[in-house]
Structure 1
Amino acid sequence: MTGSSNNVILISCDALRADHLGCYGYRRNTTPELDEFAQGSVRFRNAYSVSSHTREAVPALMTGQYPDVAIDSKYHLVSDTIASRLSEHGYATAGFHSNPYLSRSYNFDRGFDTFDDDLYLGQHKIIALAQRALDKLRNRHYARAEEINRRALAWLDSIDTGEPFFLWNHYLDTHGPYNPPAEYATLYADREISGREAQRLYKRAINDPESITDDEQRLLIDLYDGEIKYNDEYIGRFLASLRERELLEDAIVLITADHGEAFGEHGCYGHPRYLHDELTHVPMIVQPPGNKASVLEAPTSTLDIAATILDMIGRDADLPGESALADRDGDRPVFLQVQGEDNHSHLKRYAVRTHQETCRCERDCGSNAVEYADCADQGLRSELETHVQERIRRETGDGKRPSENVDGNIERRLEALGYK
């Protein structure tokens, strides 16, 4: 354990699957900056997101609670965030991102002194109209990594860095539609396509996956890898800027993703609400103070991130996760969950992962009937059964859904990003 004076920097990437990083064995040199950072840090080879969709994965990551505790039935955050906890211990707190599902409209500003969600709505009508016009003109509905860096560094330069701070940057570039900046657009792809073509292809892949040809599948992967390379470069630049400001050496730095991304595996593209490895196996790299380098094999969950941070600053977590840096021998089960959508909205899917085994199940929330699959290990199935029963016991309330008052600009951006 360390003292509570260490700065904490959490970097998360949207829809970044682990097996497209060099340090996780990818064939392309997509992540030289992250690979170099990982060499001096603790890399978790078998890290899994607690869920396959941003609306459940990020709440768990930011609170250390399972999604069915962290959010309400309309995905509004209702649990304390790591920012809330660190604020209580004297940390200045700030978050920078541009995913509408993580906006202040869903209470994700909870615990942050400064919270920039790239949605300057309600502040001034002219600003809101200008933002809408700019989004339409550039056909891009989020802030690029370069802009997230600029805003985060401006905040750092405005505060007293002699006092501890918690900074969260969430980068959206690796989320579809895959439309890398010009110099990255043909880095792997043999042809360049417009932003609108990229958007149409991405939406068709999600809505009609069987229509995607082999060439189109390769193009989607090539463009995705171009986005990863761009994102990697700007994460590297951000870390270099922290180093120049002498803010990196003794800081606690955690780098991960909210979930992965599918490219035709199991007949899907994007990140539908299932719990297969391409959707849940994510990178997790942690730099504790002292730059201890190692590679850990034991399964780890993004649910552990909040507990890991609190452990490293010497505070009790009292969370269902545990410190990823805790000494442990052998294997360990980690649990995943996701709520179905549309025609499957009455279903909840659960899974348990160990180093070599998986067990999955699907629960009908109306009858609480549970159907199990891929459960060759009966002991593992028993652990999942116990976990599911505990989740059912945790579900409380009268079933009423709170009203959702979300600005139309948020809905528009969500549609552009393929969520709608």
Structure 2
Amino acid sequence: MIRFGPLAIAAAMSLAACSSCEQKAPPPPAEKAASAHADASLHDGGDGAAKTASLTDAPWNILLITVDSLRADMPWAGYERPIAPRLSALHAKSTRYTRAYSTSSYTSKSLAGLLTGRYPSELSRTGVFFTRYLTKTDFVCTAFGSAGVPCVGGHAHAYFGPKQSGFEHGFSDWRIVKGITFDYQTDPYVTSDKLTPLAIEMLGEVASKQGTQGPKPFLAWFHYMDPHDEYKTHAESPHFGKRARDLYDEEVFFTDQWIGKLLDFVDAQPWAARTIVVVTADHGEAFGEHGMTRHAHEVWEELVHVPLFFYVPGRAARTIDEPRGHVDLAPTFAALLGVSVELPGASLVAELDGAPAPARDVVVDLPEDEYNERRRALVHGTTKIIAFGNDVRYSLFDLAADPQEKQDLWRSRPELAADMKARYKAASARIRDVAPAGGIPKHDR
């Protein structure tokens, strides 16, 4: 039962939209950093050369905002509750991908793919659930830093702490919200209200440093945790009920408000005109679909279909319906930052620049570890094949007719099954499987 009516929800949305009134931003970076771009805005779409020049004519700053467990069915995709007004407003001005896929179905594996441009099975890593990645040069920020482009990151879970995940490889400034400890079962903290001030502080510092000798690009990444279970209620959010999805929606609304404050800060900076904002999720979240709750273990749509959109100052909004995967983000970032890096994924810059978006298959990769059996999936157009274990059995779905993957076509469509299996086998063979260091601990799964 919704405890706040439509007027209360509208009032809450209005409060979120002007939430920056209370935020005290640190002093802006040196005027020299980006004075030529000072008239652009996250809200007015920007102005000037970016409208006509190619995106690769000059390097851009990148602000990457990831939200843990953020499902694809947000308000901009038709969800009836207005739980993300600030992100919805940004989405409306962005190049948005309606069929984006995370690399895997939980944080340890999915973010590794995003940060390296490779599948987690290909990376030097441990075999535990909270995986640590061992090779610094696998991570694109190592190459960015060597090219003089700093990466900074702020996070709100102890798994991101030093010597835990390895995600910090290549980052020149890496910070964790204070006062949190590692919980192996859930996320018991409220942190969006702490992460945004940290992000503002870090952005101010890196922009100032990069602007001391003329504008130079940077990449900043902030990962918001609050939609991850356990789901909490917030005084600032509309209250939708007591079910898990109701509380999750409150968490999304709360997080959205604090992301809005971060966007307001960026909007006020002279470097906003050269800053691309990228929003996505590490994975989705299940609320009873396929008998599951939370995430990991499988690669169903509710777990791996995620939001993805790019706000590019001066560019018109655009919708792209072709499937795309997170392994494409690292080469995209490299091209936008003006850094040459050889990666297996495909840069999205041409289609962000307005070119047609070519059809391309997407692979999802969940390697085996102590609590996960291996899963892989391939999406070709609107058809999806899932391989269970070491390809011991398969399922096949028509996502256009059956987006919730309820009708397995593996036996009823043998010709389609054979074609999709061949596609999957060819794509899977291109993934160079690396055995986890120290082996895989054995537990009941």
Same-fold call, TM cutoff 0.5: yes
Q: Please tell me the residue identity of whatever aligns with 1:173.
A: D
For 1:102 and 1:273, the matched residues in 2 are separated by 21
Q: Contact (CA 8 Å) 2:144, 2:339: kept in 1 or not?
A: no
Partner of 1:331: 359
What secondary structure is seen at the aligned counterpart in 2 of 1:182? coil
1:3–1:313 contact (8 Å) kept in structure 2: no
Q: Counterpart of 2:386?
A: 360
Question: Is structure 2 residue 239 aligned with structure 1 residue 187?
Answer: yes
Return the alpha-carbon distance in structure 2 between the equivalents of residues 142 and 380 of structure 1: 43
Confirm or deny that 1:154 pairs with 2:201.
yes
Contact 2:320 2:357 in 1 (8 A): no
Stretches of structure 2 lacking an aligned partner (at least 5 in a row): 1-54, 397-409
Aligned-pair CA distance for 1:245: 1.8
Q: Provide TM-score, normalisation by structure 1.
A: 0.77
Distance, in Å, in 1 between the alignment partners of 2:314 and 2:167 is 31
Partners of 1:89 and 1:288 lie apart in 2 by 23
- 1:199 equivalent in structure 2: none
The separation in 2 between residues aligned to 1:348 and 1:110, in whole angstroms, is: 26
In the TM superposition, residue 142 of structure 1 has moved relative to its aligned partner by 4.0
Match of 2:312 among 288, 291, 296: 288
Matched, 1:381 2:381: no
Q: In structure 2, what is the Cα distance between the partners aligned to 1:403 and 1:51? A: 18
- 8 Å CA contact 2:177, 2:195 repeated in 1: no
1:37-186 paired onto structure 2 within 5 Å: 37-74=90-127, 75-77=131-133, 78=135, 79-105=137-163, 106-118=165-177, 141-142=188-189, 144-159=191-206, 160=208, 161-162=210-211, 163-184=216-237
**Deviation string, structure 1 residues 152-211 (Cα, Å, up to 9, x no partner):** 111223342523221100000110011132232x5212x6xxxxxxxxxxxxxxxxxxxx
CA 1:244 to 1:86, structure 2 compared with 1: closer, same or farther past 3 Å? same
Q: Deviations over 1:9-56 (max 9, x none)?
A: 11101000110x111111111111111111211000000111001110
Change (3 A) 1:220 1:81: same
Structure 1 unpaired stretches of 5+ = 120-129, 192-218, 405-419
**CA deviation profile, 1:193-238 (whole Å, cap 9, x unmatched):** xxxxxxxxxxxxxxxxxxxxxxxxxx11110001111111111110
Match of 1:18 among 69, 72, 82: 72
For residues 56 and 358 of structure 2, the distance between their equivalents in structure 1, rounded to whole angstroms, comes to 25
Identify if the C-alpha distance between structure 1 residues 400 and 49 changes in structure 2 by more than 3 Å, giving closer, same or farther.
closer
- Specify whether residues 48 and 177 from structure 1 end up closer, same or farther in structure 2 by C-alpha distance, changes over 3 A only: same
Is this contact kept in 1: 2:67–2:224, CA < 8 A?
A: yes
Equivalent position of 1:416 in the other structure: none
The aligned amino acid for 1:56 is K
Question: Normalising to structure 2: TM-score of the pair?
Answer: 0.73
- The answer on 1:311 being equivalent to 2:335 is yes
**Is the Cα–Cα contact under 8 Å of residues 124 and 437 in structure 2 kept in the other structure?**
no
- Mapped to 2, the partners of 1:183 and 1:146 lie a distance apart of 11
Residues in 1 aligned to 2:333 and 2:367: alpha-carbon distance in whole angstroms: 27
Per-residue deviation, 1:266:
0.2
Distance in 2 (alpha carbons) for counterparts of 1:71 and 1:140: 27
Contact 1:87 1:93 in 2 (8 A): yes
Structure showing the higher helix proportion among its residues: 1
What is the number of residues matched between the two proteins?
Answer: 352
RMSD (Å) for aligned C-alpha atoms:
2.6
1:75-115 deviation digits (Å, cap 9, x = unpaired): 22235323222212222321001223333222222111110
Describe the shift of the 1:317–1:131 C-alpha distance in structure 2 as closer, same or farther (beyond 3 A). Answer: closer
The residue aligned with 2:344 is 320
Q: Provide the rounded CA distance (Å) in 2 between the counterparts of 1:292 and 1:316.
A: 27
Counterpart code for 1:244: A
